Homo-oligomer: A and B are copies of this chain.
């Protein structure tokens, strides 16, 4: 009965993890990164990578699954239903930022958009809709537009951090400030 969740030894789990993490890093840097580059970045041979992920599509699927998992974590941790919607959004931004390179993959569509459209954007869209009802979020702005503005600024913030052009403690306040002001009624 271990079909869905294969049991793996310590070594296998560790190697698998290293490969997926390297894939996230390299694909964020260059969405056309070759499997060879990813294997190098993971510190494993290309053969080993193919042992875990027979082809590129399976590796991308694993990255997608990782994304969904991390996204679910963030939503669970952020308690998006507490307080007024705009305040929840202010709390949510720094949490999302912890997704790091996954933000890049989501925003640039390396991971199939279905992920973002489904599991990914739904809680945020619901939060914005609640803000509309409560009156804490500008009614002139579509839910979709607000969601887009949030994602776009998260992506921007991460890209800035990643390239070392600013430090986290400088970026986060500006991110929260521009998101909050943009969506305020």
What residues make up the interface of A, taking CB atoms closer than 8 Å to B? 31-32, 108, 138, 140-142, 144-145, 148-149, 152-153, 155-156, 160, 165-166, 170-171, 173-174, 177-179, 181-184
Contacts and interface: CB of A to CB of B under 8 A. Distances in A.
Contact of A178 (B145, B165, B171, B173): B145
Contacts of A160: 144-145, 148
Nearest to A178: B182
B108 A177 contact: no
Given A152-B152, A182-B182, A165 B144 contact: yes
Contacts of A174: 140-142, 145
Contacts of A170: 142
Contact of A153 (B138, B152, B177): B152
A144 B160 CA distance: 9
